[in-house]
Structure 1
Amino acid sequence: MNEKLLKIINERQLVSAMNKTKWREVCEDLEKLHSSYICVRYKLITSDEIFGFSPVWWDQLFEYASAIEWLDFNPIVSEYRGRLISDKKTDRSAEILSILKRHSIKYSNQESYFRVWGYLNPGACPEFV
């Protein structure tokens, strides 16, 4: 881990909830599902910016793993079918949850999303499922 991240972790007194191995397992399994349409939003510890829901390249997301504060999965995948037909909605909850459970990754429910915590702030007590 680089010194910039260590400094932020120490200053904010963050506690790690995930490790690089767990992030790799999640990213690899989602890559195998060909789940490029699963949208995620995430926050890095290096910024206050929240990166909005969008599909990601899982191998590229893994590059940021040591800096991910949290990652939300939107289990509803929307596929564009044309201007005259509504988008096709597919619930991918079962697939996402099976990956999280297979690797014993704790998550919390945030609205209708599944949140995987990379780091916890002091006093933060998410209700893990």
Structure 2
Amino acid sequence: MKEDPLTAFIYANQLASVMNQTKWRELADALTSNPAFEPEVRVQYLLDDRPDGFGLLEWDSVRHRDSRFIEWMDIDPVRRQRVGRLVDDTRTDFTPWVKSALERHSIPFTEQDGLFRIYGYLRPNAAG
């Protein structure tokens, strides 16, 4: 039986799984439960060289299939809304709400530089 490329990559890089499909689904449900918060995220997928840039994410893909490819995800808890060229964007900080949602669902995370990082996998000797 031939091993799929994802499994081969995980074994070759000695990755340790931190999240499972249920936890990713809980994360997606939690972060989409507040209609005022549309999180911008940056995702590093296992088989990609670099992470995507920050942007909105299709959470249904995380709920149903793509989560097994996620090495880590950064969540920006600040919602920015463009007002105009001459006026600064409005900013709404959801940090306490996001942190509470992560803790309520026992989602392991780190917090650095105003971002929340959720690890799907850890690399050997990685601080997480």
TM-score if structure 1 supplies the norm length? 0.88
After superposition, the CA RMSD in angstroms is: 1.6
Match of 2:71 in 1: 69
Matches within 5 A, 1:12-51: 12-34=13-35, 37-51=38-52
Identity %: 36
Deviation at 1:12, TM superposition (A): 0.5
* Partner Cα distance (1:14, 1:35) in 2: 35
Q: 1:35 to 1:5 in 2, by over 3 A?
A: farther
TM-score if structure 2 supplies the norm length? 0.89
Paired letter, 1:55: L
Deviation at 1:36, TM superposition (A): 5.9
Unpaired runs of 5+ residues, structure 2, are: none
Query: What is the aligned length?
Result: 125
Paired letter, 2:28: C
Paired letter, 1:116: I
C-alpha distance after superposition, 1:5-53 (max 9, x if no partner): 1111001010001111000011012222236631110101111121111
Paired letter, 2:102: L
**Structure 2 residue 108 is the aligned partner of structure 1 residue 106:** yes
Kept in 2: contact 1:30–1:58 (CA 8 A): no
Higher strand residue share: 1
* Partner Cα distance (1:61, 1:81) in 2: 31
SS class of match (2:72)? strand
Kept in 2: contact 1:76–1:93 (CA 8 A): yes
Match of 2:7 in 1: 6
Kept in 1: contact 2:25–2:62 (CA 8 A): no
Paired letter, 1:117: Y
C-alpha distance after superposition, 1:38-97 (max 9, x if no partner): 111010111112111112221133331001000001111101112232110010111211
Unpaired runs of 5+ residues, structure 1, are: none
Kept in 1: contact 2:110–2:116 (CA 8 A): yes
* Partner Cα distance (2:36, 2:7) in 1: 32
